Amino acid sequence: MKQRLLSMFKFSYLSLYLIIMIFPLYWIVITSLKPQKDIFSFPLKYWPDTITMDNYVNIFKISKFHIYIGNSFLIAITAAFVVLIIAILSAYVLARFSFRGHRQIMLAFFATQMLPGFIALAPLYLMMSNMHLLNNRISLVLMYTVGLIPFSTIMLRGFFQRIPGSLEEAAMIDGCSRWSALIRIIIPVMLPGIASTFIFAFVQNWNELFLAVMFIDNDALKTLPVAMNSFIMKFDVDWGAMSAGAVLSIIPTILIFAFAQRFIVEGLTQGAEKG
Q: Clarify whether residues 69 and 178 are in a common domain.
A: yes
Q: Clarify whether residues 122 and 167 are in a common domain.
A: yes
pLDDT block averages, 10 residues each, the chain of length 275: 80 87 89 83 78 87 86 94 94 87 85 78 86 89 92 89 83 83 84 86 90 87 86 78 88 80 58 41
Q: Clarify whether residues 59 and 46 are in a common domain.
A: no
Cα gap 62→58, rounded to integer Å? 6
Q: Clarify whether residues 72 and 45 are in a common domain.
A: no
Cα gap 260→254, rounded to integer Å? 10
pLDDT score of 266: 59
Q: Clarify whether residues 63 and 22 are in a common domain.
A: no
Cα gap 171→25, rounded to integer Å? 49
Assess contact for 189 and 166: CB atoms under 8 A: no
Q: Clarify whether residues 181 and 253 are in a common domain.
A: yes
Domain boundary among 30, 52, 74: 52
Q: Clarify whether residues 86 and 173 are in a common domain.
A: yes
Number of domains comprising the chain? 2
pLDDT score of 10: 84
**Structural domain of residue 63, as residue ranges?**
55-273
Q: Clarify whether residues 95 and 227 are in a common domain.
A: yes
Domain boundary among 34, 52, 70: 52
Q: Clarify whether residues 166 and 261 are in a common domain.
A: yes
pLDDT score of 273: 43
- Please name every residue paired with 237 in a beta bridge, in sequence order, or none if there are none: 232
Q: Clarify whether residues 66 and 120 are in a common domain.
A: yes
Domain boundary among 52, 72, 92: 52
Cα gap 158→153, rounded to integer Å? 9
pLDDT score of 149: 92
Q: Clarify whether residues 194 and 222 are in a common domain.
A: yes
Instruction: Please report, for the domain that includes residue 165, its CATH number.
Output: 1.10.3720.10
Q: Clarify whether residues 102 and 79 are in a common domain.
A: yes
In sequence order, the 6+-apart residues with CB closer than 8 A to the CB of 262 are 192
Record the pTM.
0.81
Cα gap 149→181, rounded to integer Å? 23
Assess contact for 174 and 105: CB atoms under 8 A: no
